Chains A and B, each alone.
Chain A
Amino acid sequence: MITTLEEKPHIPAAPRKRKVPGWAVAMLGVAGAIALLSITSMQTGFPQLTSSGTTQTAVRLALPILLAGLGGLWAERAGVVNIGLEGMMIMGTWGAAWAGYQWGPWAALVAAVVFGSLGGLLHAVATVTFGVNHIVSGVAINLLGAGLTKYLSTLIFLPLSSNPRQSPPVQSFDTFSAAGLGDWLGELEAGQLLFISDVAGILRGLVTGVSPLTMIAILLLPLSYFLLWRTRFGLRLRSVGENPHAADSLGVKVYFHKYVAVIVSGGLAGLGGAALVLNPGQLSYLEGQTGGRGYIGLAAMIFGNWRPGGLLGGAALFGYADGLQLRSGGETVLALVYGVVLLLGVIVVWQLIRRKWFSAAAAIFVAVLMYLLYISLDEIPSEFVSYAPHMVTLAVLAVASQRLRMPAADGLVYRRG
């Protein structure tokens, strides 16, 4: 009896009413990010931060991350943790190269999806039907994917390219650009006007050299959102990820939805692999080409709190940091640190207004650290820039892991009965 007295009744907090719709918040976020970049590029004297070239490279590098992250989103929304994204992506790169050099880029896409889905199917059989731990199965699929592609490359690509680690060149997509718009934006970009030139540069990067694959990837994001959050099928799929037993009691086919989700997940990861192979700078399969991008996709999804919008933000951020380093080196990336200091300054003001003294003090502390880093270094060593996503993810997890909310039954083995 005493224990029941001591227990405080748990009252769930009433959901806060949103004053502004989600898309408006997103627009504000994008505008804020561009403003921040524009001020940073003016203060540090690096116009490359918002140049069209950087944006174009960033988009190209963000695509595989975005697609892998979408794959992770599908699987985890159905309650299956997919560490095997990396392996499925590797299988996708091989499939894309194998079909691509024979029948062109569209066949490459199809083959990549098929190969990736096969990986997904394997993961589904192991985790859903046999109830194997999701992490264990994922690690095994990563080993298997790497081994299988190495074997197949030696068998099939070696006689053609006389290199067991590379495929023959693949045909690329024809890219198209909005010519008139691009030129006009180019004039604006060259004008060096604060904010306007920056917006023009980014927009020009977005409308120049667009390949069909870019379009498909960008369209897959709202499509996934629509399917998962706006249809009956999506509701059922997500209910399987939140509480499979309850879903089962309501007649939802748990195994079926998990299977579909994981196979789609593999297909998307495979498509991400195709995005690497069909990258204009490369245009062939290379061993070790994925370089852990499957994991970064997973990180982007966690960064985005298991939501498509946040995932897009994460993929854009990671792609941007990578693209910036590739286009203009470690000095420009150091300028981003300056941008982070500015951002922290805004956060400090915001926290002071909300009278959150502790958060404000913590933000000031980090800001001072970052500023010291900025003035003491000449450039960020290139070895570290490629791993910026890893650092950002760790930082986000450390700061916000209490606020992130993954599907309730994510990673748990479900058995009907």
Chain B
Amino acid sequence: MGHLRGKLLPPALAIVFSLLLCGVALIISGANPLSAFGAMVSQVGKGTTAVDILNSTGIYYIAALAVAIGFQMNLFNIGVEGQYRVAAVVAAVVGGSIALPTGIHTLVIIIAAAVAGAAWAAIPAILKVTRGVNEVISTIMMNGLAIGLSAYLIRRDVFGELRGNNIRTAEIPESGWMPGISFAGGGTVFGFIFVAIALGVGYWIMMNKTRFGFELRASGESSTAASAGGVNAKKMILVSMLLSGAIAGLISLPELLGRDHTFSLNFTAGIGFSGIAIALLGRNHPGGIAFGALLWAFLDKSGLALDNVGVPREIVTIMQGSIVLSVVVAYEVVRRFELASEQRRVGRELGTVGGAA
């Protein structure tokens, strides 16, 4: 019971704290926080919002899984942002330039995206393994380069074409699309959402039921103990980084295969950083991450309703930021509290043993 409380209390505290904080911010800016939050909740039932939330949850879920694999062994893959951007361009270019039967075409695009993401992650991984370069710095640099590379690849003299005011890659033919589940008037659920769910299940099995997952977690708990137990640290870094990059490569596919069918300037950026926040919120647990992704998606999509009640919807971004920061603080405070009570308990028991002797 106490175990569960230690896990659920911090996120609950963080969300309440962030709600209060944003409520105060709203009151200061002259708005009614209750009507604002009410508008957000009632927005879920309107139009395509519920389906949008579901779609967005799937995308965030993949992003957070990619980050979580690195986190499991204290590897900070800040580069998810760049990895999925590069993968998106490569997948769009590959998908738009080949003609294959339905199904196989989609599969080739998915593989291309995963390989591109892994390749982009391989550079910092190799630098870390061979030259000892800190992965945080190198992945940040790779993020910058990814923006440059994607901008270059969609130039009109490379792979891009001008359509209206927008520069984009050639459209993927229909054989490469992934069908979704359509609700008349309620929007379409991306088919790739089911891939996201499968990824979550696969992640859970890998972490808890395989040798690789055990070695990954062992390296995260204590790298010295793991290497004493025969775990090859360099191999673990390389494999987990590539795996993280490959999953990161899939982030843009729900939109690419299910709606956009092209990479354009309207590309949704910033999901990689949200993924970091969600992985932290969910403590790298597939269930926790699902909850975090849902919360993020709800805040994103329902926030659109705020404009109707005269509140800038960017308050949602503040709420997300403060949730991350307060949840990590809350986890730390709870951990310290439990550590202290554990020490008190041990001390008490030792004290009684000492008194009896």
Contact = CB atoms under 8 A, between A and B. Distances in A.
Contacts of B29: 155
A269 to B, nearest CB: 15
Interface in A349-400: 381, 383-384, 386-387, 389-391, 393-394, 397-398
Contact of B131 (A137, A141, A155, A398): A398
A131 B29 CA distance: 32
B145 A390 contact: yes
B148 A139 contact: no
Nearest to A296: B144
B280 A136 contact: yes
Interface stretch (B58-66, B219-227, B317-325): B317-325
Given A140-B277, A387-B147, A398-B133, A133 B325 contact: no
A135 interface: yes
B137 A302 contact: yes
A389 B141 CA distance: 8
A262 to B, nearest CB: 15
A137 B325 contact: yes
Given A132-B332, A137-B328, 17 more contacts: A136-B280, A139-B324, A140-B324, A143-B324, A146-B321, A147-B318, A151-B315, A155-B29, A155-B312, A296-B144, A381-B152, A381-B155, A383-B152, A384-B148, A394-B123, A394-B127, A398-B133
Contacts of B328: 126, 130, 132-133, 136-137, 140
Contacts of A292: 143-144
Contact of B325 (A83, A126, A394): A126
Interface string B123-150: 1000100011110111011111101110
Contact of A146 (B123, B149, B155, B317): B317
B151 interface: yes
A144 interface: yes
Given A132-B328, A139-B276, A143-B277, A390 B144 contact: yes
B273 interface: yes
Nearest to A387: B148
Contacts of B320: 143, 147
Contact of A139 (B155, B277, B316): B277
A401 B132 CA distance: 7
A295 B144 contact: yes
B152 A139 contact: no
Given A140-B277, A140-B324, A150 B138 contact: no
Contacts of A389: 144
B314 interface: yes
A148 B324 contact: no
A141 B138 contact: no
A387 B144 contact: yes
A147 B321 contact: yes
A114 interface: no
B137 A393 contact: yes
15 contacts: A126-B329, A132-B332, A133-B328, A136-B324, A139-B276, A140-B321, A143-B320, A150-B317, A151-B312, A296-B144, A298-B140, A394-B127, A397-B138, A402-B131, A402-B132
Contact of B332 (A130, A140, A147): A130
Nearest to A143: B321
Contact of B314 (A154, A394, A401): A154
B263 interface: no
Nearest to B28: A155
A164 B313 CA distance: 12
A392 B271 CA distance: 26
B40 interface: no
In this complex, which of A130, A141, A292, A296 has the most chain B Cβ atoms within 10 angstroms of its Cβ?
A: A130
Contacts of B273: 139, 142-143
A393 to B, nearest CB: 5
Interface string A86-128: 0000000000000000000000000000000000001000100
Interface string B68-83: 0000000010100000
Interface in B288-322: 312, 314-322
Leading 4 A-B pairs by shortest Cβ distance: A147-B317, A144-B321, A154-B312, A151-B314
A123 to B, nearest CB: 10
A401 B318 contact: no
Contacts of A150: 312, 314, 317
A164 B78 CA distance: 29
Contacts of B319: 147
A148 to B, nearest CB: 6
B265 to A, nearest CB: 13
Q: By CB atoms of chain A within 10 A, which of B78, B155, B329 has the most?
A: B329
Interface string A43-84: 000000000000000000000000000000000000001010
Contacts of A126: 325, 328-329
Interface in B90-132: 123, 127, 131-132
A393 B314 contact: no
Contacts of B131: 397-398, 401-402
Interface string B147-181: 11101100100000000000000000000000000
Given A151-B312, A154-B312, A383-B151, A141 B132 contact: no
B20 interface: no
A137 B324 CA distance: 8
A321 interface: no
A393 B325 CA distance: 29
B333 interface: yes
A181 B209 CA distance: 75
A202 interface: no
Contacts of A302: 137
A228 interface: no
Nearest to A294: B140
Contacts of A397: 127, 131, 133-134, 137-138
B332 A83 contact: no
Contacts of B274: 143
A299 interface: yes
Contacts of A295: 140-141, 144
Contacts of A143: 273-274, 277, 317, 320-321, 324
Contacts of A137: 325, 328
Contact of B333 (A130, A136, A401): A130
